[in-house]
Amino acid sequence: MTAYRALLVAWVLILVPGGVAFAQQKPAQPPAPQVPVPSGVAPAPQQKGAPPIQVTTRLVHLVATVTDRHHDLVTNLDQSDFKVSEDGVPQQIRFFGRETDLPLRIGMLLDTSNSIRDRLEFEQDAAIDFLDSVIRHNKDDRAFLMTFDNEPEVIQDYTGDLDQLSTAIRAQRAGGGTALNDAIVLASQKLLNSPPPKGNDTDVRRVMVLISDGDDNLSDHALSDAVESAIRAEASIYCISTNTEWLSTDSGVPEKYHIEAGDKVLTEFADQSGGRVFFPYKVEDLAQSFLDIGDELRSQYFIAYAPTNPATDGKYRTISVTTDRKGLTVRTRRGYYSTAGPAPAFTTPSQN
């Protein structure tokens, strides 16, 4: 990150839970340590020669994916191409950038319950294929493996070593009930406290990859608890269904022609968090899907806005991000929880 960009965003604190960053004005005193915003992000321009502006506000951070009619990624849009609203009220974008190369923190969730016993090998192959396609050693990407049956368990902690992850995945056996919601809650907490990357830039992309049939019969947490935990962790959930029933390949691409209860659960996780859901027909069909996920994670937009509603009451706020460009679709998380918290002020210096 350049010194110029760091000056533009001095004293910004990102508060991860709920995806909200807060800032409040403080009396004159020695400045707080700098906490930079993601690389490539710039504030709205200020008039030349204007005095520094003390901003007393909080910011909501979003990561958005844009695709065209052919589902291809669109990566050349500008800030002026986007419109943001919260609870139906238009919002002003304060920071904008292209998140193309942030280190990844991946939570791989593998369903090992008895209900997927005959598909466990499918899950294992899928998980290893995905990690092999996205883990980059030169970018400090890291992943952890969690399995869930009667209860969730972290089998392999954060590592960038694909051999360690693959060995842990291959060693799993199926049996027991299904505590899917509990697994999402635990994985969200672990992603929220993920290890920072090397260097001064501490920004990462938090991603959860869930390989499951979507069934749950043993969780202490409700579906709503699981969705909320992922939203607070700013974790996008990419779901890969192991339910191969009701799949058709007439069009050449596996498509669901009947949506079951488990499929609806996986779709809910993906839609609410800004991720995607996949219904592969067989392992051989997964390769392109995994490549698409990896490309998407590094071809997204960073958008931050200061809500016009100043209340920090903990309530859920709906978010809509759109573009006037015809034929394009914007995908991001659907909302956040407005919670209060302390943070230093930040200053936008004059541009001479």
Higher-confidence residue of 2 and 120: namely 120
For 128-184, how does the pLDDT look when each residue is reduced to its tens digit (9 = 90+)? 988 988 898 888 999 999 999 999 999 999 999 999 999 999 999 999 999 999 999
pLDDT at residue 99, rounded to an integer:
75
Instruction: Say whether pLDDT at 269 is over 90.
Output: yes
Higher-confidence residue of 118 and 239: namely 239
Answer yes or no: are the C-beta atoms of 277 and 270 closer than 8 Å: yes
pLDDT at residue 85, rounded to an integer:
98
Please list, residue by residue across 236-273, b when 16 or more beta carbons sit within 10 angstroms of its beta carbon and e when fewer do.
bbbbbbbbeeebeeeeeebebeeebebbebbbbbbbbb
Q: Give the mean model confidence (pLDDT) for residues 1-17.
A: 38
For 65-93, how does the pLDDT look when each residue is reduced to its tens digit (9 = 90+)? 999 999 899 999 999 999 999 999 999 99
Instruction: Say whether pLDDT at 342 is over 50.
Output: no
Q: Give the mean model confidence (pLDDT) for residues 336-349.
A: 52
pLDDT at residue 43, rounded to an integer:
61
pLDDT at residue 325, rounded to an integer:
95
**Percent of the chain having pLDDT more than 90?**
53
Answer yes or no: are the C-beta atoms of 187 and 208 closer than 8 Å: yes
Domain boundaries along the sequence of the chain: 3-98+301-348, 104-297
Residues 288 and 291: their CA atoms lie apart, in Å, by 5
Query: Which is nearest to 204 in space by CA: 127, 136, 254, 272?
Result: 136
Instruction: Say whether pLDDT at 17 is over 90.
Output: no
| Homologous superfamily, domain 104-297 | von Willebrand factor, type A domain (3.40.50.410)
What residues have CB less than 8 Å from 61, skipping those under 6 apart? 14, 19, 20, 21, 234, 302, 303, 304
Least confident of 13-17, 40-44, 333-337: 13-17
What SS3 state is found at 73?
Answer: strand
pLDDT at residue 340, rounded to an integer:
64
Mean pLDDT, all residues of the chain: 80
For 280-334, how does the pLDDT look when each residue is reduced to its tens digit (9 = 90+)? 776 666 667 777 788 888 889 999 999 999 899 999 999 999 999 999 999 999 9
pLDDT category at 9 given cuts 50, 70, 90 is very low
Instruction: Say whether pLDDT at 194 is over 80.
Output: yes
